[in-house]
């Protein structure tokens, strides 16, 4: 482990965060809130710390996968701690554990909250809470790669550690350019959503925060009722954009900037993603028809909830905890599937589910024809054996961590099994609300401190695709070269 | 510039390493996914797994926007096919590695018909390099600039030389020849020296000197300078064939020792002037019998690196005065090999990569910068660049002593209307000059980059 490199990269990330912390400060100034200054203080503190960390450049700028992976996971932990302190300083969330939970939930675009009363928060804090979604959605490191000049061939390893999906493909040869393109698309779509929400007469502050929440597929709202207070048109805009942000960004690249627009429609993952959304919406709409006055309304809310859950956003327009078991069951299944690889969403990712499904099919046919040879194809590309194995092992690890976390939560003895199960589901897949004790109308405050830290780990592990967080616990990683 | 490299072997990787650090957009195509993973892990490039001759694979690598395609797979035919398709699909420049002598003899026709910008034959390039080393003894390596009119020689300062302890300011008065020391390699570091720099024995220096006075210079500093009249080549492969042809043309006697009888017959037929011996070169008695201890130069060109290294060491022991040249394909740990006294090392793949990089850089220069050619010297640790001076260059008319250049830059040579000027403090650069600059900093694009 080259500690110098790690220190330098962490410093760079801190610099970026120092600048970002100025935004909630400005938002607070507009509302003339004293809480705003806590963000200014932290901005200055982290700027000073960042300059101290990057003052001395590492002697050698070579790094290997382990440095990249550790830098990424430590960056996420660091920005979460720094991002949590303003809440503690300004008294909006006095407990550090709670503030950290809220911030990690923000950066990992989970949207699970410990707040009883969201509306009691200052505008500055609300803004920061939602803004962490936006940053975390595409990734801090990706952001850093796009703006900070870093040369050397190892940037790809940094970006890979932060990018969701079973395989990592660059859009263009250079990492910096790839990162820029991603943020360009991200920024453009965010802007369009804000404008549309404003046209639909949503107040500016709500429009900004709700857009950050849906762009990063996070789920922090600014009202106690999440998205229920908004008009049907506003909710419909949110639904559409949540689903759009859950699409693999490569599709947008092909569509807007690529030479061959057809490629965008030939992506198997996106196709399945839309098919799953359509089928789930239909099933739930029929199932919950009796809860609403009209079929259209049932469809509207089913569509919103499906879009919100599969993209792992976690906004809600109704308390789906009171829905029939079938509907709740579908929603929980969607939580596991998650959005597309290369999007801002979490979960297992549709592409992994496709590969898992095809592996199962392959195995079954292997039993029928023991000597048969077959390959797994996605997008008519043969998937390397290593990719398929990678997905299978990922799934196994995912299951282990899931069961382990659930076990820790059960130690509390305060919640029922469904609450434990969905609390882990909702945080591990970066969704937000679960069912029962952590349902859309409830929050995570009642859990014990141990459970909260477990869920924080789950959120980070889920966002960074398990391995980077796991690496921190491998002793040999920390050995000096 | 957008470059697609087809084939991720040693040559491909060397090219990729240089191009990506120079800031080009590079995509690499290879059929082996583990090769692609390896490359994309180490360099900031895009990797595509597939057959480089397939249109859809080329399209995925971005053929439509590419400026250059370099095909360096193992197969000549695949390389040519890749280039042909790339040319049709993207209208870009193409470079192919073509090594089969059959094609090489028709290379002009192939180049024209397929619209290739450049072809490279690794064996032929290596042979030319070796031939040059044999023709100029004593110097470890020789580079030519300005289309062969300026030579840069790399020599090691021998023990008890007058240069040991001599500062660069006094060098001309001491040896009586006007020489310019452009770069000094000492203990693995490359230094661009200034006038106060003091040389030591064991330093490898790169010098520019008037060719007619070179002999005088070498004698003076204690290096034996005489023309080589015969050579002993071990291994009768393709490089040996090309080398023998070159040397015979330069009236140097050639003896080739080759293990395979059939190949010996072929060589005897192709090279009637050469003496071809069918024997195993690891047989020491045979080597002595064939004059190992009396030959003036000794070249090891077998396909096995270890054998080449040991034979060279043996030759060094038996015949310390001979010029020894060792070829290795895989083993390229220069820091260790440098200590073994193996004479000059030749890595055919590095030479191939270097030829291609030279073309790429020259091509890039037509897009915006003014570097005419670029040479890697002293094991890639320094570069010599040839600049065309345009009317608006900020260096025109200023005496060099007053020109504030970077510390790691040295103006080695000015080339004006067909004449070579060895620059001194009073020299001024004029419009239309070609200027050769030596530097350890990489990535210069314009003459103004040399200014501090």
Most B CBs within 10 Å, among A171, A173, A260, to test the B interface: A173
Q: How many CA atoms lie within 13 A of B135 on its CB side?
A: 17
As to burial, measured by CB atoms within 10 angstroms (0-12 exposed, 13-18 middle, 19+ buried), residue B212 is exposed
Please give, rounded to a whole number of angstroms, the shortest distance from the CA of A338 to a CA of chain B.
27
Of the partner residues B44, B59, B64, the one whose CB lies closest to the CB of residue A153: B44
pLDDT over 60 (residue A151): no
Say if CB B319 and CB B290 are below 8 A apart.
no
- Rounded to whole angstroms, the Cα distance separating B394 from B118 reads 34
- Rounded to whole angstroms, the Cα distance separating A218 from A242 reads 10
Dihedral over alpha carbons A236, A238, A241, A246 (to 10 degrees): -110
Q: How many CA atoms lie within 13 A of A409 on its CB side?
A: 29
**Cβ–Cβ below 8 Å for B62 and A65:** no
Tell me the pLDDT tens digit for each residue of A200-258: 999 999 999 999 999 999 889 898 888 888 999 999 999 999 999 999 888 888 887 76
As to burial, measured by CB atoms within 10 angstroms (0-12 exposed, 13-18 middle, 19+ buried), residue B13 is buried
Residue B277 tokens read as 């011996």
Residue B25 tokens read as 């957009």
pLDDT per residue, tens digit, chain B (452 aa), is: 889 999 988 889 988 988 888 888 899 999 988 898 888 888 888 888 889 888 888 888 888 888 899 999 989 999 999 999 888 887 888 999 988 878 877 888 888 888 888 888 888 888 988 888 887 765 556 776 665 567 778 888 888 888 888 888 888 788 777 788 888 888 778 888 877 888 888 888 888 877 667 777 877 777 766 778 889 999 988 899 999 998 888 888 999 999 999 999 999 998 999 999 999 888 888 888 888 888 889 999 998 888 998 999 999 888 888 888 999 887 667 677 767 777 788 888 888 888 888 788 767 765 556 676 667 676 667 878 888 787 788 888 888 888 888 888 888 888 887 777 878 778 888 888 888 888 887 777 777 888 87
pLDDT at A123: 92
CA angle, residues A388, A393, A397, in degrees to nearest 5: 150
- Rounded to whole angstroms, the Cα distance separating A85 from A128 reads 12
Domains of chain B (ranges; CATH) run 2-120 (3.40.50.720), 139-221 (3.30.70.1450), 230-346 (3.40.50.720), 353-450 (3.30.70.1450)
- DSSP letters for A349-413: -HHHHHHHHHHHHHHHHHHHSTT-----EETTEEPPHHHHHHHHHHHHHHHHHHHHHHHHHHHH-
Task: Tell me what the mean pLDDT of segment A277-286 comes to.
Answer: 95
Chain A: residue whose CA lies nearest to B50? A381
Please give, rounded to a whole number of angstroms, the shortest distance from the CA of B45 to a CA of chain A.
5
Sequence-distant (6+) residues with CB within 8 A of A449 are A97
Query: Other C-beta atoms within 10 Å of A474: how many?
Result: 12
- Rounded to whole angstroms, the Cα distance separating A268 from A359 reads 16
Chain A: residue whose CA lies nearest to B36? A169
Does an H or E element contain A123, and which?
A: helix A123-138
Say if CB A33 and CB A124 are below 8 A apart.
yes
Q: Does residue A234 sit at the B interface (CB-CB below 8 Å)?
A: no
Give the least confident one: A5-19, A406-420, B302-316, B395-409. B395-409
Query: Other C-beta atoms within 10 Å of B96: how many?
Result: 29
Most A CBs within 10 Å, among B13, B29, B44, to test the A interface: B44
Structural domain spans, chain A:
3-174
Q: Does residue A153 sit at the B interface (CB-CB below 8 Å)?
A: yes
pLDDT over 60 (residue A178): yes
pLDDT at B367: 59
- Rounded to whole angstroms, the Cα distance separating B439 from A250 reads 42
Q: Does residue B278 sit at the A interface (CB-CB below 8 Å)?
A: no
pLDDT at A414: 79
Please count the helices (runs of H) and the strands (runs of E) in chain B: 15, 22
Indicate whether this complex's ipTM tops 0.90.
no
Residue A154: list chain B partners with CB under 8 A: 42, 44
Q: Does residue A324 sit at the B interface (CB-CB below 8 Å)?
A: no
Q: Does residue A173 sit at the B interface (CB-CB below 8 Å)?
A: yes
Residue B16: list chain A partners with CB under 8 A: none
- Rounded to whole angstroms, the Cα distance separating A439 from B297 reads 86
Query: Other C-beta atoms within 10 Å of B85: how many?
Result: 20
Residue B188 tokens read as 């693995």
Please give, rounded to a whole number of angstroms, the shortest distance from the CA of B66 to a CA of chain A.
11
Q: Does residue A151 sit at the B interface (CB-CB below 8 Å)?
A: yes
pLDDT at B149: 65
Of the partner residues A155, A259, A386, the one whose CB lies closest to the CB of residue B44: A155
Of the partner residues A157, A172, A175, the one whose CB lies closest to the CB of residue B41: A157
**Cβ–Cβ below 8 Å for A173 and B45:** yes
Does an H or E element contain B48, and which?
A: strand B46-49
pLDDT at B117: 82
Residue B62: list chain A partners with CB under 8 A: 172-173
- Rounded to whole angstroms, the Cα distance separating A219 from A222 reads 10
pLDDT band at residue A401 using 50, 70 and 90 as cut-offs: very high
Q: Does residue A416 sit at the B interface (CB-CB below 8 Å)?
A: no
pTM above the 0.90 mark? no
Residue A379: list chain B partners with CB under 8 A: none
Chain B: residue whose CA lies nearest to A385? B33
- Tell me the residue length of chain A: 481
Sequence-distant (6+) residues with CB within 8 A of B189 are B381
**Cβ–Cβ below 8 Å for A172 and B62:** yes
- Rounded to whole angstroms, the Cα distance separating A59 from A481 reads 14
Sequence-distant (6+) residues with CB within 8 A of B142 are B132, B133, B136, B151, B152, B153, B154
Does an H or E element contain B287, and which?
A: helix B284-289
Of the partner residues B2, B44, B59, the one whose CB lies closest to the CB of residue A175: B44
Q: Does residue B44 sit at the A interface (CB-CB below 8 Å)?
A: yes
Beta-carbon contacts below 8 Å between A and B: 37
**Cβ–Cβ below 8 Å for A173 and B25:** yes
- What does the DSSP 8-state code read for residue A313? -
Dihedral over alpha carbons A337, A341, A346, A351 (to 10 degrees): 10
pLDDT at A324: 93
Residue B45: list chain A partners with CB under 8 A: 153, 173
CA angle, residues B156, B162, B167, in degrees to nearest 5: 85
The residue ranking higher by pLDDT, A275 or B118, is A275
Dihedral over alpha carbons B50, B53, B54, B58 (to 10 degrees): 80
Chain B: residue whose CA lies nearest to A259? B64
pLDDT band at residue A149 using 50, 70 and 90 as cut-offs: low
Tell me the pLDDT tens digit for each residue of A77-133: 999 999 999 999 999 999 999 999 999 999 999 989 998 888 899 999 999 999 999
pLDDT at A152: 54
Residue A173: list chain B partners with CB under 8 A: 2, 25-27, 44-46, 62
Say if CB B240 and CB B256 are below 8 A apart.
yes
- Rounded to whole angstroms, the Cα distance separating B25 from B364 reads 12
- Positive or negative, the Cα torsion across A167, A172, A176, A180? negative
Residue A302 tokens read as 């089913």
Mean model confidence pLDDT for chain A:
88
Three-class secondary structure of residue B317 per DSSP: helix
Farthest CA pair distance, chain B: 66
Residue B21: list chain A partners with CB under 8 A: 151, 153
The residue ranking higher by pLDDT, A14 or B136, is A14
Q: Does residue A161 sit at the B interface (CB-CB below 8 Å)?
A: no
Q: Does residue B54 sit at the A interface (CB-CB below 8 Å)?
A: no
pLDDT band at residue A387 using 50, 70 and 90 as cut-offs: confident
**Cβ–Cβ below 8 Å for B44 and A156:** yes
pLDDT at B139: 58
Task: Tell me what the mean pLDDT of segment A394-416 comes to.
Answer: 91
Query: Other C-beta atoms within 10 Å of A267: how many?
Result: 20
**Cβ–Cβ below 8 Å for B40 and A156:** yes
Task: Tell me what the mean pLDDT of segment A282-302 comes to.
Answer: 93
**Cβ–Cβ below 8 Å for B42 and A153:** yes
Three-class secondary structure of residue B433 per DSSP: coil
The residue ranking higher by pLDDT, A353 or B163, is A353
Residue B181 tokens read as 């020391």
**Cβ–Cβ below 8 Å for A172 and B46:** yes
Chain B: residue whose CA lies nearest to A63? B42
Residue A170: list chain B partners with CB under 8 A: 40, 46
Which among A335, A322, A337 is positioned nearest to A288, based on CA atoms?
A322
pLDDT band at residue A189 using 50, 70 and 90 as cut-offs: very high
- DSSP letters for B90-129: H--EEEEE---HHHHTTHHHHHHHHT-SEEE-HHHHHHHH
CA angle, residues A124, A126, A132, in degrees to nearest 5: 100
- Rounded to whole angstroms, the Cα distance separating A308 from A331 reads 10
- Rounded to whole angstroms, the Cα distance separating A204 from A198 reads 7
Q: Does residue B66 sit at the A interface (CB-CB below 8 Å)?
A: no
Q: Does residue A475 sit at the B interface (CB-CB below 8 Å)?
A: no
Three-class secondary structure of residue B428 per DSSP: strand
pLDDT at A255: 84
Most A CBs within 10 Å, among B27, B46, B54, B56, to test the A interface: B46
Give the least confident one: A279-288, A292-301, B327-336. B327-336
Query: Other C-beta atoms within 10 Å of A98: how many?
Result: 20
- DSSP letters for B26-69: EEEEES-HHHHHHHHHHSS-EEEES-TT-HHHHHHTTGGG-SEE
Residue B376 tokens read as 């890697």
Q: Does residue A289 sit at the B interface (CB-CB below 8 Å)?
A: no
Residue B46: list chain A partners with CB under 8 A: 170, 172-173
Q: Does residue A174 sit at the B interface (CB-CB below 8 Å)?
A: yes
- What does the DSSP 8-state code read for residue B172? H
Sequence-distant (6+) residues with CB within 8 A of B11 are B72, B97, B122, B349, B352, B353, B356
pLDDT at B231: 92
Interface of B with A in 360-399 (CB under 8 A): none
**Cβ–Cβ below 8 Å for B44 and A173:** yes
Say if CB B326 and CB B234 are below 8 A apart.
no
Say if CB A211 and CB A198 are below 8 A apart.
no
Residue B73 tokens read as 């797979």
Residue A129 tokens read as 């809470």
């Amino acid at each position: 482990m080259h500690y110098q490199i790690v220190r330098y990269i962490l410093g760079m990330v801190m610099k970026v965060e120092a600048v970002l912390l100025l935004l909630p400060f400005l938002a607070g100034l507009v509302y003339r809130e004293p809480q705003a200054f806590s963000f200014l203080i932290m901005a200055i503190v982290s700027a000073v710390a960042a300059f101290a960390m990057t003052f001395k450049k590492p002697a050698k700028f070579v790094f290997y996968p382990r440095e990249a992976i550790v830098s990424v996971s430590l960056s996420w932990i660091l920005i979460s701690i720094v991002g949590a302190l303003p809440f503690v300083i300004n008294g909006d969330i006095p407990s550090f554990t709670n503030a950290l939970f809220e911030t990690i939930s923000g950066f990992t675009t989970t949207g699970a909250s410990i707040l009883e009363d969201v509306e009691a928060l200052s505008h500055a804090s609300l803004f920061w809470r939602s803004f962490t979604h936006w940053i975390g959605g595409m990734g801090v490191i990706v952001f850093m790669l796009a703006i900070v000049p870093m040369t050397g061939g190892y940037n790809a390893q940094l970006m890979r550690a932060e990018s969701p999906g079973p395989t990592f493909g660059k859009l263009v040869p250079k990492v910096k350019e790839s990162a820029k393109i991603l943020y360009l698309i991200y920024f453009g779509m965010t802007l369009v959503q804000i404008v549309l929400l404003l046209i639909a007469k949503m107040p500016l502050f709500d429009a900004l925060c709700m857009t950050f929440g849906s762009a990063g597929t996070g789920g922090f709202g600014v009202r106690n009722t999440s998205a229920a207070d908004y008009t049907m048109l506003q909710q419909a805009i949110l639904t559409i954009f949540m689903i759009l942000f859950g699409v693999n960004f490569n599709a947008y690249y092909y569509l807007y900037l690529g030479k061959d627009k057809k490629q965008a429609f030939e992506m198997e993952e996106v196709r399945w993603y839309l098919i799953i959304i359509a089928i789930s919406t239909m099933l739930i709409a029929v199932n919950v028809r009796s809860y609403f006055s009209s079929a259209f309304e049932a469809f509207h809310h089913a569509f919103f909830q499906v879009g919100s859950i599969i993209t792992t956003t976690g906004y809600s327009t109704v308390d789906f905890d009171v829905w029939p078991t079938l509907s709740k069951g579908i929603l929980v299944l969607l939580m596991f599937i998650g959005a597309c690889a290369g999007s801002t969403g979490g979960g297992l990712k549709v592409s992994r589910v496709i590969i898992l499904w095809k592996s199962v099919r392959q195995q079954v046919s292997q039993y029928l024809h023991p000597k048969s040879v077959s390959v797994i194809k996605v997008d008519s590309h043969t998937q390397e054996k290593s990719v398929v194995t990678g997905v299978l092992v990922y799934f196994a690890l995912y299951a282990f961590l899931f069961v382990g976390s659930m076990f820790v939560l059960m130690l509390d003895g305060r919640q029922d099994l469904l609450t434990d199960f969905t609390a882990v589901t909702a945080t591990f897949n970066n969704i937000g609300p679960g069912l029962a004790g952590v349902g859309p109308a409830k929050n995570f405050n009642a859990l014990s401190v141990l459970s909260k830290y477990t869920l924080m780990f789950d959120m980070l592990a889920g966002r960074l695709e398990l391995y980077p967080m796991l690496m921190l616990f491998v002793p040999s990683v920390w050995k000096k070269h | 510039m957008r470059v697609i490299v087809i084939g991720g072997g040693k040559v491909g990787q060397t090219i990729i390493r240089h191009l990506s650090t120079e800031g080009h957009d590079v995509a690499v195509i290879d059929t082996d996914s583990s090769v692609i993973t390896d490359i994309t892990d180490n360099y900031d490039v895009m990797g595509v797994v597939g057959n480089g001759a397939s249109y859809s694979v080329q399209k995925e690598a971005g053929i439509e926007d590419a400026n250059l395609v370099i095909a360096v797979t193992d197969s000549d035919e695949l390389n040519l096919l890749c280039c042909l398709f790339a040319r049709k699909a993207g209208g870009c420049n193409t470079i192919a590695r073509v090594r089969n002598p059959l094609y090489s003899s028709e290379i002009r026709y192939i180049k024209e018909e397929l619209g290739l910008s450049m072809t490279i034959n690794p064996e032929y390039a290596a042979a030319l390099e070796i031939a040059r080393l044999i023709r100029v003894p004593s110097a470890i390596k020789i580079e030519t600039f300005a289309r062969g009119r300026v030579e840069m020689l790399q020599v090691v300062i021998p023990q008890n030389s007058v240069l040991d302890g001599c500062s660069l300011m006094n060098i001309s008065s001491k040896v009586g020849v006007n020489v310019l020391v452009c770069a000094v390699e000492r203990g693995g570091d490359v230094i661009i020296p200034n006038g106060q720099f003091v040389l030591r024995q064991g330093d490898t220096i790169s010098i520019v000197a008037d060719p007619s006075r070179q002999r005088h210079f070498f004698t003076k500093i204690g290096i034996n300078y005489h023309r080589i009249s015969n050579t002993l080549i071990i291994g009768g492969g393709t490089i040996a064939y090309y080398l023998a042809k070159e040397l015979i043309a330069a009236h140097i006697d050639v003896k080739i020792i080759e293990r395979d009888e059939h190949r010996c017959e072929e060589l005897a037929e192709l090279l009637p002037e050469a003496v071809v011996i069918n024997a195993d070169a690891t047989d020491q008695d045979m080597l002595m019998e064939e004059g190992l201890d009396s030959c003036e130069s000794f070249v090891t060109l077998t396909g096995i690196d270890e054998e080449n290294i040991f034979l060279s060491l043996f030759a060094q022991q038996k015949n310390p005065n001979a010029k020894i040249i060792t070829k290795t394909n895989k083993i390229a740990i220069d820091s260790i090999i440098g200590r073994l006294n193996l004479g000059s090392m030749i890595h055919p793949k590095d030479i191939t990569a270097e030829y291609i990089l030279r073309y790429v850089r020259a091509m890039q220069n037509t897009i915006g910068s003014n570097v005419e050619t670029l040479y890697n010297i002293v094991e890639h640790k320094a570069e010599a660049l040839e600049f065309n001076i345009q009317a608006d260059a900020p260096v025109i008319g200023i005496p060099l002593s007053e020109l504030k250049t970077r510390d790691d830059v040295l103006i080695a040579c000015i080339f004006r209307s067909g004449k070579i000027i060895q620059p001194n403090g009073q020299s001024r650069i004029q419009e239309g000059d070609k200027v050769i600059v030596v530097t350890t900093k990489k990535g210069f694009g314009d003459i103004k980059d040399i200014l501090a």
